[in-house]
Structure 1
Amino acid sequence: MSDRRLMLLLKISIGIGLCLLLLGIYLHNYSDYMASLGVTGILISATCFAFGMVFSLPTKMYLTFLLMKREAEQRAKKSKKPQD
């Protein structure tokens, strides 16, 4: 898998994670239906929030490491070029 495709996949994963986080927050704080479900409603909103965290945070860290690695490689290539 190329780096571009991997970064696109990671960015999509971050987007899904953020949407799930927002959905979990909405369901927990503003949805009257979830309040009427009681404990089940709390579990549903907490599950959305938890999966949002799973999708969002590790991919951000991996994407940051990937971008730092690419930048270091580009700097190394520039420093190895003979200067005129």
Structure 2
Amino acid sequence: PRAKREAVSSNGEAARLAATTPGVAAVAGDMAAELYHLDRLAEHIEDYPDNTTRFLVVGREEVPPSGRDKTSLIVSSRNKPGAL
């Protein structure tokens, strides 16, 4: 509840930090847990009902509307960890 969130470049990087920095935890997959010898505090958190996952397509060419489109966004950000 009082955890501080910190943006990193990937969940693999978060796992590496958790393995090398006392007091740090990470949300990462089984492979990262095995690679960095991490203790799993919770499993299958992707199945929690309040979780949300969003995907986006980035490209140079326009995609024609399907008629079932929900949202269109244009986003510009700096090239740094956590920007997306």
Relative contact order higher in (CA < 8 Å, ≥ 6 apart): 1
- After TM superposition, the score normalised by the length of structure 2 is 0.23
- Which protein is richer in helix relative to its size? 1
The TM-score, its normalising length taken from structure 1, stands at: 0.23
